[in-house]
Amino acid sequence: MKWHEIKIKTVSEHVEIVANILYDAGVGGVVIEDPNDINLFDRDESSWDYFDEEILNFEYEGVIVKGYLPDSEDLHDKIKFIKESVHKLADDLQNKEDEIVTVADVYEEDWANAWKQYYKPKKIGEKIVVKPTWEEYEAKEGEKVIELDPGMAFGTGTHETTMMCIKALEKYVKNDSTVYDIGCGSGILSIAAAKLGAKKVIGVDLDEVAVKVSKENVYVNSVENVVDIRHGNLMEVVEGRADIIVANIIAEVIKILVKDIKKFMKEDSVFIASGIILDKIDEVKRELEANGLEIISIERQGEWAAILSKAKVGDKNE
Ligand SMILES: C[S@@+](CC[C@H](N)C(=O)[O-])C[C@H]1O[C@@H](n2cnc3c(N)ncnc32)[C@H](O)[C@@H]1O
């Protein structure tokens, strides 16, 4: 099948807006290539089987956001919409060349597999190692290995927003914990919670592809007796209260989620909200506080933040 790769060169501050433009045009998922992100493009050449010089040369030239659209009758309108929206954004920039849209034809097989050469086993936090299913890895003492094939779903474990969630889960998951993972993508956080000993995990995603991929990954990791993956919007398909709720979604969606979150929390539950671009920390923090949550900590990695909060002491959960 023929697809069209929409590649947008942009600046870090515009990544979230550009990703949203692509989503609005109908792409199923976006790929963000930030060469300044050492976690995505590990600079330690000794740990690489393969090293792409082009990526290094790209170092100071900005961030690439890519999305894919299938051949369709309205393709031209969608590309026009993307170009116009990105050009409007570029008006704010001194150097308009910093924001450029290019379109290339690709075949499903090419783009579905191209990223795999960059994806290697990676240790995140103290215990969790994320290992692509096709790679070999020998676990060291105390390590918990997640076997993952993210396919078309978000969640390889290389993105800062995911890494901050995994580190927080390592800190808070106990053997009797119940965990809700809102926007589970590849299922990575649900599986991490299960491997860290959670008693029950529910992962939810709006995207059917993510649900399918999560279920497959849950099965590959043999945690299907603990993790239940559901298709749905935010908390609509979960009931009851969890000890930990993790949501790695963009700030705008977190702000909606926060309005009802306490109905799903106990007195000492922790809410891990990630996927927040640095500029939006205050907005999300205000929304959390306005809805009866108290900030525990704000973690930052690269351009992203994760805010950890809990119900305010003495404040009754609804
Ligand atoms: C950034 S990815 C996070 C994936 C994975 N949890 C991780 O941390 O790597 C966000 C996911 O949230 C899902 N999502 C976005 N809006 C949602 C909503 N309203 N309800 C449920 N899932 C949603 C997307 O489909 C996507 O899979």
Residues 264 and 179 in one domain: yes
Query: Domain boundary at 58, 92, 116, which?
Result: 116
Mutation pick for ligand 1 pocket among 30, 149, 154 (CB with most ligand atoms within 8 Å): 154
Residue 183 CA: nearest ligand 1 atom is 12
For residues 207 and 80, state if they share a domain.
Answer: no
57 in a known ligand binding site: no
Residue 265 has a pLDDT of 96
Position in ligand 1 atom list of the atom nearest CA 157: 9
Q: Ligand 1 mean position to 30 CA, how many Å?
A: 12
| pLDDT top residue among 287 and 108 | 287
Same domain flag for 290 and 177: yes
Amino acid residing at 77: D
Residue from 241, 151, 167 nearest 205 by CA: 151
Do both 225 and 287 map to the same domain?
Answer: yes
Ligand 1, atom nearest to 274 Cα: 8
Q: How far apart are CA 87 and CA 66, in angstroms?
A: 16
Place of tokens 């999300």: 284
Q: Are residues 179 and 294 in the same domain?
A: yes
pTM of the model: 0.72
Q: How high is the mean pLDDT of the chain?
A: 85
Classify residue 261 by its DSSP letter. Answer: G
Q: What is the mean pLDDT of residues 73-83?
A: 90
Stretch (H or E) spanning 56: helix 53-57
Q: For residue range 26-38, list pLDDT tens digits in order.
A: 887 778 876 554 3
Same structural domain, 169 and 304 = yes
Q: Is residue 22 part of a domain?
A: yes
Strands 265-277 and 242-248: parallel
Confidence tier at 119 by pLDDT (50, 70, 90): confident
In a domain, 316, yes or no: no
Residues 7 and 82 in one domain: yes
Residue 19: domain span:
2-116
Determine the pLDDT at residue 100: 79
Distances (CA, A) of 123 to 146, 160, 184: 10, 13, 20
Over the stretch 186-217, which tens digit does the pLDDT of each residue have?
A: 999 999 999 999 999 999 999 998 999 999 99
Annotated ligand binding at 183? The verdict is: yes
Closest residue to atom 1 of ligand 1, CA basis: 249
What's the mean pLDDT in 136-150? Answer: 94
How many angstroms does the Cα of residue 95 sit away from the middle of ligand 1? 33
Half-sphere exposure at residue 278, Cβ-oriented, CA atoms within 13 angstroms: 9
Any ligand 1 atom below 6 A from CB of 146: no
CA 159 to chain centre: 7
Which run of H or of E encompasses 181?
strand 178-182
Range name among 80-94, 261-275, 290-304 with the lowest pLDDT average: 80-94
Please say which residue of 64, 92, 116 terminates a domain: 116
Domain-embedded: residue 135:
no
| CATH value at residue 175 | 3.40.50.150
Mean pLDDT of 5-13: 86
Query: pLDDT confidence of 107, banded at 50, 70, 90?
Result: low
Q: Are residues 168 and 53 in the same domain?
A: no
Statement to judge: residues 100 and 189 lie in one domain = no
Indicate whether 99 and 23 sit together in one domain: yes
- Tell which atom from ligand 1 comes closest to the C-alpha of 165: 8
How far away, in angstroms, is 183 Cα from ligand 1 center? Answer: 3
Question: What pLDDT is attached to residue 41?
Answer: 34
Structure tokens at 244: 């930990």
Q: Hey, whose CA ends up nearest to atom 13 of ligand 1?
A: 183
62 lines ligand 1 (CB under 6 A): no
The predicted pLDDT at position 53 comes to 38
Is 137 domain-assigned?
no
On whether both 205 and 80 belong to a single domain, the answer is no
For the stretch 256-277, pLDDT in tens is 999 999 999 999 999 999 999 9
Q: Is residue 140 part of a domain?
A: no
Of the residues 66, 92, 116, the one at which a domain ends: 116
Q: What is the mean pLDDT of residues 128-142?
A: 94
- % of residues, the chain, pLDDT over 90: 55
pLDDT of 39 higher than 90? no
Mutate-to-test residue for ligand 1 from 179, 189, 206, highest number of ligand atoms within 8 A of CB: 206
Is 163 found in the same domain as 276?
A: yes
Q: Which of 149, 169, 205 to mutate to test the pocket of ligand 1 (most atoms within 8 A of CB)?
A: 205
At residue 249, what is the residue type? I
The domain total for the chain is: 2
CA distances, 231 to each of 122, 228, 244 (Å): 28, 10, 19
- The CATH code of the domain that includes 110 is 3.30.70.2170
- Measured CA to CA, the distance from residue 183 to residue 192 in angstroms comes to 14
